[in-house]
Amino acid sequence: MSADNISQFSSLAIGRDTPAQPISEYFGELTFGLGEMRERLPREAFNELIKTLEHGRKLSKDTADAIAKAIMDWAIRKGATHFCHWFQPMTGLTAEKHDSFISIQHANHSELKVIERFTGSMLIQGEPDASSFPSGGMRSTFEARGYTAWDPTSPLFIVENAVGAKTLCIPTVFFGYHGQALDNKTPLLRSVQTLSQEACAFLKLLGDVDVKSVMATLGAEQEYFLVDREVAARRPDLMMTGRTLLGAPTARGQKLEDHYFGSIPTRVISFMEDLERELYRLGVPVKTRHNEVAPSQFEMAPIFESMSIASDHNTLAMETMKRVAARHNFMCLLHEKPFAAINGSGKHCNWSMSNDKGENLLDPGHTPHQNLRFLAVAAVVIRAVHKHAGILASSIMSPGNDLRLGGNEAPPTIISIFLGSMLEKIFETIARGEAARGSEREIINLGVSHIPDISKDYTDRNRTSPFAFTGNKFEFRAVGASANVAVPMSVLNAAVSDTLAEASARLKVILAKTPSRDEAVITLVRDLINENSAILFSGNNYSAEWREEAKRRHLPIIDSAADAFAVWNDEKATEFLISTKVLSREEILSRYNVQMERYVKSMEVELDTTVALVNEYVVPAIEKQLERTYAVQRDVKNDSLKSALGRRTAILESTFADLLSHCDSLKKSLDKLGETHDEVAKVAMLVRDCRPTADKLRAAADRAEQEVADELWTLPKYREMLFHHSMK
Ligand code: ADP
Ligand code: MG
């Protein structure tokens, strides 16, 4: 998104009591990364750390202690009293275990002295009680141990809670006794490493002989909703599940689409400024903020960074958003589909790769060689997304995203790529073979040397595409707002790594029989495009025709979470995760188990909450309304009014009857679900039976909302939740 609409709000800053401090003065003041290490560590210790980072060597005890000492001195000066190992278990949230810095020293027999102590081993390894985190069956109880290990590639940071206590957070990975990944970060780190190796090998074949490393880059645009906290607190569904389970859409909805271009409400601006300030202090480079399409929906986008840091930063940003929102009396909703009938929230993951010279491999560049490299890399990504479309679609599936993509009001998840007209045209020409015979001259004639213009090809951006080329990067848009980006990004990195290896092998064969390297590369590009054009689609992804067309093209169609889980359980579809060393078979299986368990649990909570809402709020409201209507009816003399009231009563009664009968069916289904112990069967029951019944129940409840007097309806309505702060 562009920063265009920011300027008009800058005048709001004038009202502040303190003059704004330049961001550069406090950016990252709560972080301790390599820069701080260089500044504060003895030279040998710093050099050893760099070697560790580059070659994966073990740190000596002395160095580890020196690093820990420098970190502790800094953290205590910043007011931190505790430290924690911060990690990302497979539930998709983060977890932390806090310890204070204090330690007891025996000065002599009778005297105890409290000192601050933090050693290298406390920094490097922790052992949280892992039994409360899901392992997907990987750990038997006798070895229910989990370990956290410091990830020195991501800066340490200090977080202040609501009452001002400060904790030093150490980014860590989380693994089991035999080294199995119990978290989302470990596979991500493995995937960026493999990607670098495979990309270097491929680039060398293209002629970039001096390339040393390739970095995956990520900029995650985060969408969210803000609801007034007092209003949200009166919605048990928001409190329990993060989304509304009942609620009739407002007449206005997002029909007018005026929110997108409108000014940000003052109360929200104040939240955003506070949020950004916190994130800047934590070293998160937030760049843009703006309204989104739906009322009360907003977006925040950072400047892209190296993948593992950007991933940590997105997780940290989500936590910070919730915390700062509470301070501003908002509830921040990161759910993918908090409200029916209006847009849900996604997290557009802008993905690219750059070499060690800082050149973006997906930037068409300025020379014919860079352009050719760009075309080759883009073709590889197209192949990767086509080959692994099913697992990419599954990697973004979650209970919430299931409603945003694939629910009854949303399009199914079918992964396809939108390239934009310019790139499409270039690839079409190459695919027709017009460039394969050619020399560099002909490639230039083709327009390859003018590719830089692609970045201006914004006119026909396709908002419905789940995976789009946007000038100098691909944007994976199907990712859900609440997702831990490490999951889909690991899969995408692995898919591209796998395809890079395949492409390198093919290119070697072509090179052996083609005199010119450029010609060989163009041949590879042509073959890749011809073989994988089925994944390219520039039409409306939300249309029914696309579904039919996708079927003809044999693209995987993921209609529900059940379909997604099946892909994780498909040995053939997941084989590349093993060959790229991103996950082992055991780890894949554990993810499959954890996801299913999580899906079943969150669905059970949703359905139980729906039944409770109906019983506690909707039924009593209809009963009162009926009582009133019957009372009025009783005394009416006028015949036409009598019959009109009769019709009104009949409508209410029929809504009530529907409501009660669907509620009964849902309760019966839930009972059956409770008797089932097989997770696969449970998922199937939830998808095929419980969810459709809950949808019918909701429809009846939402009808009732429109038939019952507002004063009798105690649940806050959509208009109160969505249009609340636009009035302030
Ligand atoms: P758009 O207008 O297409 O949304 P922006 O330039 O505003 O583009 O960028 C959107 C997001 O993409 C930002 O988070 C930005 O940092 C990120 N981004 C830009 N270039 C890259 C890149 N090479 N790799 C990863 N992310 C990138
Ligand atoms: Mg966006």
pTM given for the model? 0.92
Cα torsion 378, 384, 389, 391: sign: negative
Q: Whose CA is nearest to atom 14 of ligand 1?
A: 219
* Cα 505 to Cα 518: distance, rounded to the nearest angstrom: 16
Quick check: 6 pLDDT over 50?
no
Mean pLDDT, residues 653-670: 98
Of 14-23, 367-376, 626-635, 718-727, the one with minimum mean pLDDT is 14-23
Atom number of ligand 1 nearest to Cα 220? 14
- Residue scoring higher pLDDT (159 or 7): 159
* Cα 51 to Cα 103: distance, rounded to the nearest angstrom: 31
Residue 62: phi, psi to the nearest 5? Answer: -60, -45
Q: Which among 473, 476, 477, 493 is the best mutation to test ligand 1's pocket, defined by most ligand atoms within 8 Å of the CB?
A: 473
Quick check: 156 pLDDT over 80?
yes
Question: Is 218 touching ligand 1 by the criterion CB < 6 Å?
Answer: yes
Amino acid at 103: S
* Cα 88 to Cα 412: distance, rounded to the nearest angstrom: 29
Question: Is 304 touching ligand 1 by the criterion CB < 6 Å?
Answer: yes
- Residue scoring higher pLDDT (264 or 35): 35
Please report which helix (H) or strand (E) contains residue 573, including its range. helix 571-579
* Cα 438 to Cα 262: distance, rounded to the nearest angstrom: 52
Closest-CA residue to 202 (of 528, 573, 581): 528
- Residue scoring higher pLDDT (647 or 412): 647
What value, to the nearest 5°, has the Cα angle with vertex 727 and ends 726 and 728?
Answer: 95
Instruction: Name the H helices within 89-155.
Output: 120-124
Q: Is 562 helix (H, G, I), strand (E, B) or coil?
A: helix
Instruction: Using pLDDT thresholds of 50, 70 and 90, give the confidence band for residue 524.
Output: very high
Q: Which ligand is nearest to the CA of 470?
A: 1
Question: Is 314 touching ligand 1 by the criterion CB < 6 Å?
Answer: no
Q: List strand residue ranges (DSSP E) for 101-247, in order.
A: 102-106, 112-116, 125-126, 146-150, 156-160, 166-176, 214-228
Distances (CA, A) of 453 to 34, 366, 449: 37, 10, 10
What value, to the nearest 5°, has the Cα angle with vertex 69 and ends 68 and 72?
Answer: 85
Q: Whose CA is nearest to atom 5 of ligand 1?
A: 1
Q: Whose CA is nearest to atom 23 of ligand 1?
A: 352
Taking the centre of ligand 1 as the mean of its atom positions, its distance from the CA of residue 84, in whole angstroms, is 32
Atom number of ligand 1 nearest to Cα 302? 14
Question: Is 473 touching ligand 1 by the criterion CB < 6 Å?
Answer: yes
* Cα 634 to Cα 566: distance, rounded to the nearest angstrom: 59
Atom number of ligand 1 nearest to Cα 218? 25
Q: Which ligand is nearest to the CA of 301?
A: 1
pLDDT at residue number 109? 66
Q: Is 109 helix (H, G, I), strand (E, B) or coil?
A: coil
Distances (CA, A) of 568 to 582, 603, 650: 14, 20, 50
Tally of CA atoms within 13 A in the half-sphere of 400 that contains its CB:
25
Tally of CA atoms within 13 A in the half-sphere of 239 that contains its CB:
12
The domain locations on the chain are: 31-183, 205-221+346-559, 598-726
Please report which helix (H) or strand (E) contains residue 444, including its range. helix 440-445
* Cα 191 to Cα 198: distance, rounded to the nearest angstrom: 11
Closest-CA residue to 212 (of 224, 222, 226, 199): 199
Of 13-27, 293-307, 316-330, 484-498, the one with minimum mean pLDDT is 13-27
pLDDT at residue number 424? 87
Atom number of ligand 1 nearest to Cα 219? 14
- Pairing mode of beta strands 146-150, 31-32: unpaired
Question: Is 302 touching ligand 1 by the criterion CB < 6 Å?
Answer: yes
Q: Is 5 helix (H, G, I), strand (E, B) or coil?
A: helix
Closest-CA residue to 6 (of 207, 203, 287): 287
Residue partners of 72: CB distance under 8 A and separation at least 6: 101, 116, 117, 118
Taking the centre of ligand 2 as the mean of its atom positions, its distance from the CA of residue 271, in whole angstroms, is 20
Closest-CA residue to 490 (of 434, 568, 414): 568
Taking the centre of ligand 2 as the mean of its atom positions, its distance from the CA of residue 287, in whole angstroms, is 13
Tokens representing 586 are 């055991």
Question: Is 221 touching ligand 1 by the criterion CB < 6 Å?
Answer: yes
Contact predicate 174/182, CB 8 Å: yes
Q: Which ligand is nearest to the CA of 474?
A: 1
- DSSP-derived secondary structure letter, 112: E
Question: Is 301 touching ligand 1 by the criterion CB < 6 Å?
Answer: yes
C-alpha dihedral over 719, 720, 721, 722, to 10 degrees? 40
Question: Is 1 touching ligand 1 by the criterion CB < 6 Å?
Answer: yes
* Cα 366 to Cα 606: distance, rounded to the nearest angstrom: 53
Quick check: 261 pLDDT over 70?
no
* Cα 567 to Cα 395: distance, rounded to the nearest angstrom: 9
Atom number of ligand 1 nearest to Cα 304? 16
Percent of the chain with pLDDT over 90: 63
Number of H helices and E strands in the chain, helices first, is 27, 18
Q: Which among 304, 463, 470 is the best mutation to test ligand 1's pocket, defined by most ligand atoms within 8 Å of the CB?
A: 304
- Residue 531 CB: number of other CB atoms within 10 A? 14
Taking the centre of ligand 1 as the mean of its atom positions, its distance from the CA of residue 2, in whole angstroms, is 10
Q: Which among 313, 350, 357 is the best mutation to test ligand 1's pocket, defined by most ligand atoms within 8 Å of the CB?
A: 350
Taking the centre of ligand 1 as the mean of its atom positions, its distance from the CA of residue 219, in whole angstroms, is 6
Question: Is 360 touching ligand 1 by the criterion CB < 6 Å?
Answer: yes
Q: Which ligand is nearest to the CA of 351?
A: 1
Taking the centre of ligand 1 as the mean of its atom positions, its distance from the CA of residue 37, in whole angstroms, is 29
Atom number of ligand 1 nearest to Cα 1? 4
Contact predicate 488/401, CB 8 Å: no
Contact predicate 586/136, CB 8 Å: no
Quick check: 111 pLDDT over 80?
no
Residue 304: phi, psi to the nearest 5? Answer: -65, 155
Question: Is 237 touching ligand 1 by the criterion CB < 6 Å?
Answer: no
Question: Is 353 touching ligand 1 by the criterion CB < 6 Å?
Answer: no
Mean pLDDT, residues 238-249: 96
What integer best gives the mean pLDDT of the chain?
Answer: 88
Instruction: Using pLDDT thresholds of 50, 70 and 90, give the confidence band for residue 10.
Output: very low
pLDDT at residue number 7? 31
User: Per-residue b/e over 120-129, b at no fewer than 16 CB within 10 Å?
Assistant: bebbbebebe
Taking the centre of ligand 1 as the mean of its atom positions, its distance from the CA of residue 491, in whole angstroms, is 20
Most confident range (mean pLDDT) of 215-219, 456-460, 519-523 is 215-219
What value, to the nearest 5°, has the Cα angle with vertex 648 and ends 645 and 649?
Answer: 85
Q: Which ligand is nearest to the CA of 291?
A: 2
**Domain 598-726's class?**
mainly alpha
Tokens representing 591 are 């993810």
Quick check: 448 pLDDT over 60?
no
* Cα 466 to Cα 397: distance, rounded to the nearest angstrom: 13
- Residue scoring higher pLDDT (697 or 446): 697
Percent of the chain with pLDDT over 70: 89
Taking the centre of ligand 2 as the mean of its atom positions, its distance from the CA of residue 548, in whole angstroms, is 27
pLDDT digits (tens, 9 = 90+) for 528-539: 999 999 999 999
Q: Which CATH superfamily is domain 31-183 in?
A: Glutamine synthetase, N-terminal domain (3.10.20.70)
Beta-bridged to residue 285, according to DSSP, are: none
Taking the centre of ligand 2 as the mean of its atom positions, its distance from the CA of residue 1, in whole angstroms, is 5
Instruction: Using pLDDT thresholds of 50, 70 and 90, give the confidence band for residue 411.
Output: low
Tokens representing 630 are 């019957």
Question: Is 196 touching ligand 1 by the criterion CB < 6 Å?
Answer: no
Question: Is 457 touching ligand 1 by the criterion CB < 6 Å?
Answer: no
Q: List strand residue ranges (DSSP E) for 40-88, in order.
A: 80-87
- DSSP-derived secondary structure letter, 10: G
Question: Is 589 touching ligand 1 by the criterion CB < 6 Å?
Answer: no
pLDDT digits (tens, 9 = 90+) for 533-576: 999 999 988 888 999 999 999 999 998 888 899 999 999 999 99
Q: Is 371 helix (H, G, I), strand (E, B) or coil?
A: helix
Tokens representing 120 are 């290298």
User: Per-residue b/e over 464-477, b at no fewer than 16 CB within 10 Å?
Assistant: bbbbbbbbbbbbbb
Tokens representing 342 are 């209006």
Closest-CA residue to 184 (of 280, 43, 292, 308): 308
- DSSP-derived secondary structure letter, 92: S
Q: Which ligand is nearest to the CA of 347?
A: 2
* Cα 221 to Cα 455: distance, rounded to the nearest angstrom: 19
Tokens representing 5 are 């609409």
Taking the centre of ligand 2 as the mean of its atom positions, its distance from the CA of residue 346, in whole angstroms, is 8
Instruction: Using pLDDT thresholds of 50, 70 and 90, give the confidence band for residue 394.
Output: very high
- DSSP-derived secondary structure letter, 493: H
Quick check: 99 pLDDT over 90?
no
Q: Which ligand is nearest to the CA of 299?
A: 2
Contact predicate 185/87, CB 8 Å: yes
* Cα 499 to Cα 155: distance, rounded to the nearest angstrom: 31
Tokens representing 391 are 């697992």
Domains 31-183 and 598-726 agree in fold: no
Question: Is 350 touching ligand 1 by the criterion CB < 6 Å?
Answer: yes
